[in-house]
């Protein structure tokens, strides 16, 4: 279907505006470290420069990932990757002191955190930043990450989301536990806080038990904004019920429009409004003054991301053995993977019999297309679907179509160069978008919720239990697609109750 006739689903009205966020990844193979201007991914100066550049460009959010374990290669830390991330909440708390408007998004895992503790830490960031905190909700389903934690193990795919739903619902009730005006704020008041204005939150369920009196009042934006990035049917249902913003994997226009339609339908089934969930796909931008210069820059970036060593190392992840004797500009290895050396706990992409099948498939594909190892790996790891390459004006024209159709609400940009990776975007692309009327010329307010155009959350009704077992049955039992009901589908077998 053509872009001019493809519209988002009924009930949704495009805003005609785009927001930008920056995803400071700083690690793994996408970050260029061999360029002369490459900087440190752990130095606070890099964080400060990118955050302040983004704020100068009126970006809505500064987004930090979470590294629960270093990426490994043949059972050892991957020596060709940039590695090592500071704790997200600590780094964002530091950035709160050198920024004033940009949102601060911390990726935090529900599988290996506890709700009362995480809710308190996020509340702290929200208060210290004046209402700019957000939580990117992620889960984990692999033994490789689980081995890094005291209790070990991991949750299977279905349990990940029942546990996450219980976790998020509990956190929301912790944030809701203080009334508006709970603190008198007056020297003439008889009490510092109003009697009964702070409630205890209790949860007893299959995964954990909570009995807590929340320690902090609400922030200027009521509670942290919730981001989520799951793309499975369960992940989409979870986002439709819980998320304010989806960090999606669908940046191409037709694909983004279909994703919008699907999310709006799920959101309406969950009892929320068609406009309630924003969508900001992951993306990269390689820009220059002319299209030709942009393509040349893209080729240069790819040559740094996938050099001869990186190409061989990429295949070694799947072959489970050293392949240094193979020519990066020659054909794929004619030997099979070592099955017992391709395991999840060693960070392998595929393991066991799957690795052998994949090797056969890749050899056939490379031979058919006449690709060398380096060419094949470059093609396999290309972010073409999520990369916008071109001149400032042509990319601005493309993005304007996203705003017009309502395909997305913005883009979450991963810079390939630290710390100067946003300079071209802020200095050249942002003014082009502003000229087209699709990008803000000032911040809408002081909180992240205001700047994203999100409504104040509806508070959970005090003293009313969320009947988790019933909700979980409706959402998950029998694979019903997880449509669920408003506010609580998919909780684990237990309940969350706020007590005065």
- pLDDT tens, residue by residue, 437-479: 999 999 999 999 999 999 988 776 543 333 333 343 333 323 3
Helix axes 353-369, 308-319, angle to 10 degrees: 140
Does the pLDDT at position 141 exceed 90?
no
Does the pLDDT at position 3 exceed 50?
no
3-state secondary structure the chain: CCCCCCCCCCCCCCCCCCEEEEEECCCECCCCCCCCCCCCCCCHHHHHHHHHHHHHCCCCEEEECCCCCCCEECCEECCCCECCCCCHHHHHHHHHCCCCCCEEEEEEECCCCCHHHHHHHHHHHHHHCCCCEEEEEECCCCHHHHCCCCCCCCCCHHHHHHHHHHHHHHHHHHHCCECCCCECCCCCCCCCECCCCECEEEEECCCCEEEECCCCCCECCECCEEEECCCCHHHHHHHHHHCCEECCCCCCHHHHHHHHHHHHHHHHHCCCCCCCCEECCEEEEEEECCHHHHHHHHHHHHHHHCCHHHHHHHHHHHHCCCCCCCCCCCCCCCCCCCHHHCCHHHCCCCCCHHHHHHHHHHHHHHHHHCCCHHHHHHHHCCCHHHEEEEEHHHHHHHHHHHHHHCCCCEEEECCCCCCCCCHHHHHHHHHHHHHCCCCCCCCCCCCHHHHCCCCCCCCCCCCCCCCHHHHHHHHCHHHCCCCCCCCCCCCCCCEEEEEC
At 480 the pLDDT is 31
High-pLDDT (> 70) share of the chain, %: 74
At 148 the pLDDT is 64
At 406 the pLDDT is 97
Highest mean pLDDT pick, 162-176, 182-196, 342-356: 162-176
What CA–CA distance (Å, rounded) separates 369 from 326?
19
Does the pLDDT at position 262 exceed 50?
yes
Q: How far is CA 180 from the centre of its chain?
A: 30
Q: In the predicted model, what is the mean pLDDT of residues 360-369?
A: 94
The string of pLDDT tens digits covering residues 278-310 is 999 999 999 999 999 999 999 888 888 788 888
For each of the domains in the chain, give its residue range(s) and CATH number, in order of start.
Answer: 19-289+384-499 (3.20.20.30), 307-380 (no CATH)
At 4 the pLDDT is 42
Does the pLDDT at position 356 exceed 90?
no
At 488 the pLDDT is 35
Structure tokens at 299: 């080729």
Does the pLDDT at position 190 exceed 60?
yes
At 458 the pLDDT is 77
Does the pLDDT at position 425 exceed 90?
yes
- With vertex at residue 34, the alpha carbon angle to CA 319 and CA 415, rounded to the nearest 5 degrees, is 90
Identify the band that residue 205 occupies on the pLDDT scale cut at 50, 70 and 90. confident
Residues 6+ apart with CB under 8 A from 485: 270, 271, 471, 474
At 355 the pLDDT is 79
Among the ranges given (72-76, 346-350, 433-437, 461-465), the one the predictor scored with the smallest mean pLDDT: 461-465
Q: In the predicted model, what is the mean pLDDT of residues 64-83?
A: 65
End-to-end CA distance of the chain: 55
Structure tokens at 319: 């072959």
Q: In the predicted model, what is the mean pLDDT of residues 134-140?
A: 90
Q: How far is CA 405 from the centre of its chain?
A: 23
Please give the residue that has the higher pLDDT: either 45 or 67.
Answer: 45
> Do 265 and 17 touch, CB atoms closer than 8 A?
no
Query: Which among 325, 351, 324 has a CA at the least distance from the CA of 338?
Result: 351
Highest mean pLDDT pick, 190-194, 245-249, 380-384: 245-249
- Mean pLDDT, the chain, rounded, equals 82
At 241 the pLDDT is 96
Query: Which among 383, 391, 443 has a CA at the least distance from the CA of 416?
Result: 383
Q: In the predicted model, what is the mean pLDDT of residues 209-227?
A: 92
Strand order in the sheet with 495-499: 209-212, 200-204, 495-499
Among the ranges given (101-115, 243-257, 415-429, 449-463), the one the predictor scored with the smallest mean pLDDT: 449-463
Identify the band that residue 258 occupies on the pLDDT scale cut at 50, 70 and 90. very high
């Amino acid at each position: 279907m053509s872009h001019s006739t493809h519209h988002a689903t009924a009930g949704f009205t495009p805003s005609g505006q785009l927001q930008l966020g920056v995803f400071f990844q700083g690690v793994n193979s996408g970050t260029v470290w061999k360029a002369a201007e490459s900087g440190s991914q752990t130095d606070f100066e890099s964080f400060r420069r990118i955050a302040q550049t983004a704020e100068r460009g009126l970006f809505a959010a500064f987004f930090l990932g979470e590294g629960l374990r270093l990426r490994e290669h043949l059972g050892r830390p991957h020596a060709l990757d940039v590695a090592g991330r500071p704790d997200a909440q600590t780094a964002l708390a530091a950035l709160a002191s050198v920024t004033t408007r940009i949102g601060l998004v911390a990726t935090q895992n529900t599988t290996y955190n506890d709700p009362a503790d995480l809710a308190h830490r996020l509340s702290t960031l929200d208060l210290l930043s004046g209402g700019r905190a957000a939580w990117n909700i992620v889960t984990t389903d692999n033994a490789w990450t689980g081995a890094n934690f005291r209790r070990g193990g991991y949750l299977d795919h279905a349990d990940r989301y029942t546990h996450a739903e219980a976790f998020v619902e509990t956190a929301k009730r912790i944030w809701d536990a203080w009334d508006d005006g709970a603190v008198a704020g007056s020297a003439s008041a008889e009490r510092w806080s109003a009697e009964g204005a702070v409630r205890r939150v209790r949860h007893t369920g299959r995964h954990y038990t909570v009995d807590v009196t929340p320690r902090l009042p609400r922030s200027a934006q009521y509670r942290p904004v919730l981001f989520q990035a799951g793309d499975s049917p369960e992940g989409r249902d979870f986002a439709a019920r819980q998320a304010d913003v989806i960090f999606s994997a669908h940046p191409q226009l037709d694909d983004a429009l279909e994703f919008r339609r699907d999310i709006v339908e799920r959101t309406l089934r969950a009892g929320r409004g068609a406009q309630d969930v924003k969508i900001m796909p992951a993306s990269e931008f390689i820009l220059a003054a002319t299209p030709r210069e942009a393509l040349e820059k893209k080729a240069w970036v790819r040559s740094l991301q996938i050099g001869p060593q990186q190409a061989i190392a990429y295949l070694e992840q799947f072959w489970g053995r050293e392949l240094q004797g193979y020519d990066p500009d020659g054909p794929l290895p004619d030997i099979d993977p070592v099955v017992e050396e391709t395991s999840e706990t060693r960070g392998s992409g595929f393991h066991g019999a799957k690795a052998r099948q994949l090797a056969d498939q890749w050899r056939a594909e490379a031979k058919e297309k006449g690709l060398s190892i380096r060419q094949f790996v470059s093609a396999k790891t290309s972010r073409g679907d999520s990369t916008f390459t071109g001149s400032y004006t042509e990319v601005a024209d493309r993005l304007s179509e996203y705003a017009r159709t309502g395909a997305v609400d913005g883009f979450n940009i991963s810079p390939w160069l630290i710390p100067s990776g946003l300079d071209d975007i802020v200095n050249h692309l942002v003014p082009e978008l502003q000229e087209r009327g699709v990008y803000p010329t000032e911040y809408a307010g002081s909180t992240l919720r205001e700047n994203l155009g999100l409504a104040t959350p509806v508070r959970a009704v005090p003293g009313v239990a969320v009947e988790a077992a019933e909700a979980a049955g409706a959402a998950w039992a029998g694979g019903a697609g997880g449509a669920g009901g408003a506010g609580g589908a998919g909780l684990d077998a237990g309940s969350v109750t706020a007590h005065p």
